[in-house]
Structures are given as C-alpha cells and as structure tokens.
Amino acid sequence: MDREFLIDLFADFGPVAIRKMFSGYGISADGINFALALRAGLFFRADEVTIPDFEAEGSKPFQYSTRAKTVLVNSYWELPARLFDDSEELAQWARAALAAAQRAKVKKRPRGKRATKKAANKPTKKIATKKKSARKVAKKTVR
C-alpha cells in the first residue's frame, strides 16, 4: 500500500497523517496513531470494546516473528478485507479505532508522574550535624 492509496482509502474518514513506520506506515488523526499499514495488511487499533467486532469478522491480531518466538500484538487487529470496497463502513471502523487509541492514551500514566516517583524513591543525602563535625575536629586536634 502506498501513501496515495491510503489517502484515498481514508477519504470518507477525513484527513489523516501518514508517516513511515517499521516496514510500512503509521496512520494518525488528531496526533493519535490509530492504524498501521504494513506488508502484512492494514491493522486498526483495538481494545476490549472493539475486539469483539474484529473477532466476529474473523480477523486476527497483528503478529510478528523474532528469532526466538512469535509476538502477538493484541492492540492492533487486521482490518476485514471486505471493508476495502466500502469506504463509508471503513470510516466507521476507523472512528472506532481512533476512539480505542484515545482510550488507551487516557489509561497511560503521564510522564511527569513517573519522574516524580523516581525522585521520591531516591535516597536523600545525609547532612553532617554540628556534633559530628565537632567530633571530627576534636580528633584531628588531639593527634
């Protein structure tokens, strides 16, 4: 799939941003990635709300193989082939995928909190008290 084909495919959905990603393209709207166009096909973002629709169509989640194993990515599911011929219904599925991506973004913890948590777990430096300093000075002068 090339960029022009993808732009035409999403015409009923609305404007999309298409960026090179992995061996294909990442497709986003409103700054949120909701689809992947790869050699293996077109995959839409899915979650517990939309996965039943993909299962009903006989779709499967995205997967790839490494040297050691096959990795199943349950957050992206293959778009049913019949939707390539029905741009209006594809637009509905794309809206549902965008909504799933937005829900996933809300579930993620903001980055700022992660940094605060790390700072809270860092040990604090011990500050020498006057008594300790006085003992050290006394030891040095006695010698």
Model pTM?
0.72
Walk me through the domains of the chain, giving residue ranges and CATH numbers: 3-110 (3.30.1460.30)
pLDDT score, position 119:
54
31/45 Cα distance (integer angstroms): 14
Cβ–Cβ under 8 Å, residues 6 and 16: yes
Instruction: Indicate the pairing of strand 61-65 with strand 41-45.
Output: unpaired
Query: Per DSSP, what are the bridge partners of residue 25?
Result: 20, 37
**pLDDT of 95-141, one tens digit each?**
999 999 999 988 775 666 555 555 555 555 555 555 555 555 555 55
**pLDDT of 73-90, one tens digit each?**
999 999 999 999 999 999
